[in-house]
């Protein structure tokens, strides 16, 4: 678990990266490899969400990469404009290491990675707020992976939890 002060540091790193100001403080917790996602919203609507689900980079570097990608390289949205930056809400989600799970053991509140052949998709635990039913959640995750809605029944899964920090 990260302390609130460490969460504030992660948010500052993400916001700075979006504003094209790279740089990391020397805090030791930033050197630990962690999965991370940066979610950007504007007026309650998704504006970008990109991350590294597995612990392949030090946390600080992963936050910079995810923030820049969410702001400027999410294929679902045009790059963030200067005018939009003042209205952005930034959320940094630090992931636990994903572990295999059976379909029947997935429960509301889990972060879920669906893997089916060469396709995969991920939903953060926060998505349960918008898709509260397990079947709907999994059908939408299948669609996100480019599959048919009921293909989740034949997929493999990993689950994870997050510790999320959000700007006001």
- Tens of pLDDT, residues 120-158: 999 999 999 999 899 999 999 999 999 999 999 999 999
Could you tell me if 10 and 85 lie in one domain?
A: yes
Residue 22 — pLDDT band, cuts 50, 70, 90? confident
Could you tell me if 71 and 124 lie in one domain?
A: no
- Would residue 27 count as lying in a domain? yes
Residue 59 is predicted with a pLDDT of: 97
Could you tell me if 104 and 51 lie in one domain?
A: no
Nearest residue to 40 via CA among 8, 2, 86: 86
- Tens of pLDDT, residues 59-77: 999 999 999 999 999 999 9
35 torsion bin: left (phi>0), alpha (psi -120 to 50), beta (else)? beta
pTM exceeding the 0.85 threshold for the entire prediction: yes
Residue 23 is predicted with a pLDDT of: 86
Domain containing 128: what range? 99-160
Domain count, the chain: 2
Q: How far apart are CA 108 and CA 132, in angstroms?
A: 7
Exposed/middle/buried for residue 111 (C-beta within 10 Å: 0-12, 13-18, 19+): buried
Residue at which a domain ends, from 60, 95, 130: 95
């Amino acid at each position: 678990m990260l302390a609130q002060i460490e969460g504030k540091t992660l948010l500052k790193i993400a916001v700075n990266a979006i504003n094209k100001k790279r740089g990391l403080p020397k805090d030791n917790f930033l050197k630990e490899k962690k999965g991370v996602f940066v979610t950007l919203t504007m007026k309650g609507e998704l504006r970008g969400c990109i991350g590294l689900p597995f612990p392949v980079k030090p946390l600080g570097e992963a936050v910079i990469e995810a923030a820049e990608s969410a702001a400027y390289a999410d294929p679902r949205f045009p790059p963030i404009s200067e005018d939009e930056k003042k209205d952005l809400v930034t959320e940094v989600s630090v992931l636990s290491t994903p572990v295999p799970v059976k379909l029947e053991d997935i429960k509301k509140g889990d972060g879920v990675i669906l893997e089916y052949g060469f396709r995969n998709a991920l939903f953060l635990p926060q998505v349960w707020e918008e898709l509260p039913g397990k079947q709907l959640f999994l059908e939408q995750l299948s669609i996100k992976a480019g599959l048919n809605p009921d293909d989740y029944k034949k997929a493999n899964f990993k689950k994870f939890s997050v510790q999320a920090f959000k700007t006001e």
